[in-house]
């Protein structure tokens, strides 16, 4: 286990009860605001980056290469942390500069070098090619995988599990489950590893936003084995892939209407790529009776507000007009 990390996230993040939704669902629904970890570095990625960037500094790297979607929260957070620590930052993103808003805008403003690739191109190959180029140019680069999801980054969510345990004691609650979105698996791996190391019954339930449950389960197992090769029992890894909908960063009108309803009912803005899908999944599963054996349910808001693109904002405006 790694011991050293930066302290750049605003921790602990608060947990509070969603009163109106708890009442309508007949459960005690709590939310943990990991979207409050910061502004430039907001969301779940900064918990991972605290460990990753410490590792980079400790090992003498001067340049980072990472990758993601054009709307990547991880890329934006990495760009901001690199600016803060004077590390050269290269982002390999799938998409075009026409989508110059949200995270892409923030990442370039923070000084990141953006390398665009075709939607079908391999991100790993592009990272390898750039790695060689930068090395030949005299740099000492370090590659962070998409989403910062590897054994180093997962430490951030092992810590988050410990933080939740402390908050449970202080609040005199025991959560029957901890629920959140899964996009590259690092958050899941950390929380599951934290829970399993503490030998507790709390279920760790991930809602996939892009790939199927099997793919994520394998990814999570891979990360956990890198953390501790002695872990051999993985039955309690629970990933639900029934709420991906139209796919990564795509939204149906029904989903958008759900986000509007939650915003107006609870004052919480879910993001359209991750937390929206996961939270909608949780509410649907509760309604279908799949949480009947649970009373206290925690949802982690992992951030992502910058994912509201022009296209989605316009559609929400339309829905609001239709509702009026």
Ligand X SMILES: *Cc1c(COP(=O)(O)O)cnc(C)c1O
List of residues contacting ligand X (CB under 6 A) = 43-45, 73-74, 147, 149, 181-188, 271, 274-275, 302-304
Query: How many residues does this entry show for the chain?
Result: 324
- Sheet of 63-69: strand order equals 113-117, 88-94, 63-69, 141-143
Min dist. Cβ of residue 275 to ligand X (A): 6
Cα gap 231→240, rounded to integer Å: 22
Q: Is 296 a catalytic residue?
A: no
Q: Which is nearer to ligand X, 149 or 196 (CB)?
A: 149
Min dist. Cβ of residue 303 to ligand X (A): 4
Min dist. Cβ of residue 215 to ligand X (A): 12
Instruction: Please give the C-alpha separations between residue 110 and each of 46, 103, 114, 256, 302, in angstroms, as whole numbers.
Output: 15, 10, 11, 30, 21
Cα gap 62→85, rounded to integer Å: 10
Burial 102-111 (b: 16+ CB within 10 A, else e): bbbebbbebe
Q: Where does residue 88 rank: exposed (0-12), middle (13-18), buried (19+ CB within 10 A)?
A: middle
Min dist. Cβ of residue 153 to ligand X (A): 8
Q: Which is nearer to ligand X, 124 or 135 (CB)?
A: 124
Under 8 Å between Cβ of 247 and 210: yes
Q: Which is nearer to ligand X, 184 or 296 (CB)?
A: 184
**82: its two tokens:** 């690199």
Q: Which is nearer to ligand X, 188 or 308 (CB)?
A: 188
Min dist. Cβ of residue 232 to ligand X (A): 23
Cα gap 64→86, rounded to integer Å: 11
**114: its two tokens:** 């953006």
Q: Which is nearer to ligand X, 43 or 141 (CB)?
A: 43
Under 8 Å between Cβ of 309 and 71: yes
Cα gap 112→322, rounded to integer Å: 40
Rounded to 5 degrees, what are φ and ψ at 32? -110, 125
Cβ-proximal residue to ligand X, closest one: 304
Q: Which is nearer to ligand X, 52 or 134 (CB)?
A: 52
Under 8 Å between Cβ of 87 and 49: no
Which one of 20, 42, 72, 149 is the catalytic residue?
72
Min dist. Cβ of residue 219 to ligand X (A): 9
Which residues belong to the active site?
Answer: 72
């Amino acid at each position: 286990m790694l011991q050293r990390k930066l302290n750049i996230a605003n921790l602990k993040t608060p947990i509070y009860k969603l009163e109106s939704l708890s009442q309508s669902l007949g459960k005690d629904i709590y939310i943990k605001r990991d979207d409050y970890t910061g502004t430039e570095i907001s969301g779940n990625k900064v918990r991972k980056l605290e460990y990753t960037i410490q590792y980079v500094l400790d090992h003498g790297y001067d340049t980072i290469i990472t990758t993601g979607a054009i709307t990547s929260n991880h890329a934006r957070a990495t760009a901001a942390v690199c600016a803060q620590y004077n590390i050269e930052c290269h982002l390999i993103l799938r998409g075009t500069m026409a989508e110059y808003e949200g995270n892409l805008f923030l990442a370039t403003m923070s000084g990141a070098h953006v390398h665009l690739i075709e939607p079908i191109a391999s991100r790993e190959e592009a990272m390898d090619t750039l790695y060689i180029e930068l090395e030949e140019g005299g740099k000492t680069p370090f590659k962070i995988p998409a989403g910062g999801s590897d054994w180093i980054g997962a430490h951030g969510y092992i810590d988050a599990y410990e933080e939740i345990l402390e908050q449970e004691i202080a609040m005199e609650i025991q959560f029957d489950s901890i629920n959140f979105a899964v996009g590259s698996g690092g958050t899941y791996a950390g929380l599951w590893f934290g829970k399993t190391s503490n030998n507790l019954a709390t279920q760790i339930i991930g809602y996939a936003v892009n790939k199927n449950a099997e793919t994520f389960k394998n990814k999570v197992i891979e990360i956990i084995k890198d953390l501790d090769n002695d872990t051999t029992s993985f039955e309690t890894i629970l990933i639900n892939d029934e709420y991906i909908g139209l796919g990564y960063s795509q939204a149906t009108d029904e989903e958008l209407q759900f986000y509007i309803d939650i915003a107006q009912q609870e004052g919480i803005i879910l993001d359209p790529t991750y937390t929206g899908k996961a939270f909608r999944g949780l509410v649907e599963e509760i309604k279908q009776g799949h949480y009947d054996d649970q009373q206290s349910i925690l949802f982690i808001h992992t951030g992502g507000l910058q994912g509201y693109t022009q296209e989605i904002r316009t559609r929400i405006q339309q829905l609001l007009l239709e509702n009026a």
